[in-house]
Copies of this chain bind each other. A is one copy, B any other.
Amino acid sequence: KAFGALGGCGLTEFVGTAIGHTIGLVIANVDPLLHEKMKINPKYRSIGIIGARTGAGPHIFAADEAVKATNSEVVLIELARDTEGGAGHGCLILFGAEDVSDARRAVEVTLNEVHRTMGDVYGTPAGHLEFQYTARASGALNKAFGAPLGQAFAITVGAPAAIGVMLADTAAKAATVQAVGYASPGNGTSFSNEVIFMFTGDSGAVRQAVIAARDVGKTLLATLDPSEIKSTTTPYI
């Protein structure tokens, strides 16, 4: 049994794995009995499946690239309260497609993108920071966060949630951006210990707001724990 297998595990439904205890799967023809219980649009016989123990933002932004690159649609995004004892979420994302090859391709693109979108995730034993940015939001970001289609869009995430409040205020003041949403432990998250701020605007302004928030976040998270604050992979913003 291979760890982090890309080549498969003997099941045709298995697509691959990625960082964050992330698994990608595909079902060519969902059992009709199950399909009905899942309340997915019946026209999508094939579904692609992304699941992770750690991460929701990274996976949703990765899935957004998959929607752009394939003939598929995101039909469900659910955030578990997870991160394996951490303060955030895991996720379950379903792609619907009429053709199994499209569903598989969407999962492959997502798994490949997750390495990049983990780049501005920073964790210590005390909490975590997450920043995501895209120049052009597509269906996954629209469904998950209400991002306006085709516009620049970003999120800042801070945990414990108090840090997330400060990231939001910093981003809002750093450049001319428009608030799209604000989620907190009791309102819009799955009771995670995060504040998530979602915003759009001119792409330069959106990036500038994210970068300002990232600097403040690192300074604040450092007050709670002496661990080095480093990227999960490689920063991309």
Contact = CB atoms under 8 A, between A and B. Distances in A.
A165 B131 CA distance: 29
A23 interface: yes
Interface of A: 1-5, 9-11, 13-14, 17, 21-25, 27, 30-31, 33-34, 36-38, 47, 49-53, 78-82, 84-87, 90-92, 94, 125-127, 159-163, 165-166, 168-169, 172-173, 177-179, 181-182, 184-187, 189-195, 197, 216, 219-220, 222-226
Given A49-B166, A92-B161, A80 B225 contact: no
Nearest to A225: B3
B216 A11 contact: yes
How many copies of this chain does the complex contain? 3
Contact of A172 (B25, B33, B91): B33
A31 B90 contact: no
Nearest to A219: B9
